[in-house]
Structure 1
Amino acid sequence: MLSLKGKWALVTGASRGIGRLVSLFLAEKGCNLILQSRDIANTKEVVKKAEGLGVKAVPVSAELSELKTVETMLQEIDQLNVDVDIVMNNAGLQVGYREDYYKTPVSDYTTSFFVNTIAPMMICYHFLPKMIERGFGRIVNTTSGIRLEPEQAGYSASKAALDKVTIDIGSKLDGTGVVISLTDPGWCRTDLGGPKAPNAPESALPGVVVGAFIENGKSGRLFPAGEFYNMSLEEAVAKAENMN
């Protein structure tokens, strides 16, 4: 299992829910953090907790539906002069549930694709060449297990697109030292998942982070958090190493 001590990780959607939990989990492993949210004030508490664990933590802001702010954020991160070795593309947006799905508005698709597909891929495209040049990197893109629900077409289609591009890019990374993978947290009681979700956010750990710790160099795999419930990180990584 990889040690991430002293490395830098960018976590999107870091102010709350699973993104917050992922950030503090990585901090406990000695990983320095760049924490994205819509407003840097939103991650003030996470920064304080991470620094209390002995790592560096830098807040950055971007509204992922406004791609110019994503570009500005990436430029700001470059100015930190640190090597971003891990990217956890956790942030996502789930638009309204459309019972009358034949009236799904176009905006469901455009907004979903900006936040759930285009913004995370902009981040991937920005950091991947630098990771390949250094011979090391881990990217984990968060997907969804939603299927057969046209009521959520914009959301599920945007996540399916993210799956496709992640797997396709992964096919080009053999032997580079860079691994890109997918994770599905499951239906959790977060702002996105809602209060009726069956799973606590904590149940997504350690499954949602195993892609950052694997060593076998295989890209394009999906690691559903439910496969790793109640496991230690070491157990989860060992299982992930053997998954197809």
Structure 2
Amino acid sequence: MVNVSGKWALITGASRGVGYQTALFMAKQGCNLILHSRSLEHSSKVEDEVKALGVEAYSVQAELANHDEVVAMLDEIEAKGTAVDIVFNNAAVQIAYREDYWNTPVEDFDMSFRINFIAPVTICNRLIPKMIQRGFGRVINTTSGIKNEPEQAGYAASKAALDKFTKDLASRIDETDVVISLTNPGWCRTDLGGPQAPNSVDTVIPGIAVGAFVDDKKSGRFLHAQNFTGMNLEEAVAKAQTMEATPYVI
């Protein structure tokens, strides 16, 4: 199992929901954190909390729908000299539930792809080559289990694109010590999931983060967080490493 103590992780959408849970969990493992949100004030609370756990942390801001802001965020991280070892591409947007899905506005697709696909791809393409050069990296891209719901076409299509990108990229880095995985938090009671969701957000731990700890150089796994609920980290990693990295199992 990977020891993440002293390593640096970038978490997008770290100020609330699944990202917030991930930040606290990783800090408890000794991992230093770069906490992304749309505004620095949004992440001030979680920054204070993780620093209180004894790790280093700082916040960055970017509106992920704005490509220039994403690039500026990455420039800032690079200018600080931070070598990013782990990436959690967690932030996402679910625009609307369109009962009249035949008339889904193109803006749903545009915004969904900007935030849910283009921003994570930009982050991956900037940071993964540096991980390869240094000989270590972990990337966890957050997908969705939504299917057969054209009412959420923009969101679902953007996540399907992220799945394809992740699986294709995995074929190029498999057997290196840079490992890329997909995770699905499940339907949780968050701002995105809504109050009717069956799972409390804390059930994503430890499964949402297990891809950062696998140590068998196998990329392309789909790690559903709810399949690890109630396990300790060691148990979760052991289970994850028994899973085949089979493509397109969503």
TM-score (norm 1): 0.99
Q: Secondary structure at the match of 2:172?
A: coil
2:224 maps to a residue whose letter is P
What is aligned with 2:203?
A: 203
Q: Distance in 2 between matches of 1:21 and 1:141?
A: 15
Q: For structure 2, list consecutive stretches of 5 or more residues without a partner in the other structure.
A: 245-250
Q: Distance in 2 between matches of 1:220 and 1:110?
A: 26
1:17 maps to a residue whose letter is G
**Deviation at 1:82?**
1.8
Q: Which consecutive segments of 4 or more residues in structure 1 shift more than 2 A?
A: none
Q: Distance in 2 between matches of 1:235 and 1:177?
A: 21
1:233 and 2:233 equivalent?
yes
Q: Distance in 1 between matches of 2:243 and 2:228?
A: 12
2:218 maps to a residue whose letter is K
Q: Distance in 2 between matches of 1:174 and 1:191?
A: 35
Q: Distance in 1 between matches of 2:200 and 2:67?
A: 31
Deviations 1:148-187 (Å, cap 9, x if unpaired)?
0000000000000000000000000023210000000000
Q: Distance in 2 between matches of 1:85 and 1:5?
A: 11
Q: Secondary structure at the match of 1:15?
A: coil
2:9 maps to a residue whose letter is A
What is aligned with 1:160?
A: 160
1:219 and 2:219 equivalent?
yes
**Deviation at 1:80?**
1.3
**Deviation at 1:229?**
1.5
* Pairing of 1:16-31 with structure 2 (within 5 A): 16-31=16-31
Q: Distance in 1 between matches of 2:71 and 2:15?
A: 20
Deviations 1:40-85 (Å, cap 9, x if unpaired)?
1101010101110000111000000011100000000001112100
Q: Distance in 1 between matches of 2:137 and 2:144?
A: 23
Q: Distance in 2 between matches of 1:4 and 1:67?
A: 30
Q: Percent identity?
A: 57
2:94 maps to a residue whose letter is Q
**Deviation at 1:35?**
0.3
What is aligned with 2:105?
A: 105
What is aligned with 1:79?
A: 79
* RMSD of aligned Cα (Å): 0.6
**CA contact 2:87–2:140 (8 Å) conserved in 1:** yes
What is aligned with 1:65?
A: 65
What is aligned with 1:34?
A: 34
1:242 and 2:245 equivalent?
no
Q: Distance in 2 between matches of 1:177 and 1:233?
A: 20
What is aligned with 2:247?
A: none
1:114 and 2:128 equivalent?
no
**CA contact 2:175–2:219 (8 Å) conserved in 1:** no
2:30 maps to a residue whose letter is G
The number of equivalent residue pairs is 244
Q: Distance in 1 between matches of 2:202 and 2:104?
A: 33
What is aligned with 1:179?
A: 179
Q: Distance in 1 between matches of 2:15 and 2:174?
A: 33
Deviations 1:73-119 (Å, cap 9, x if unpaired)?
00000011121000000000001000111110000101000000000
TM-score (norm 2): 0.97
Q: For structure 1, list consecutive stretches of 5 or more residues without a partner in the other structure.
A: none
Q: Secondary structure at the match of 1:91?
A: coil
What is aligned with 1:147?
A: 147
What is aligned with 2:14?
A: 14
Q: Secondary structure at the match of 1:140?
A: strand
What is aligned with 2:194?
A: 194
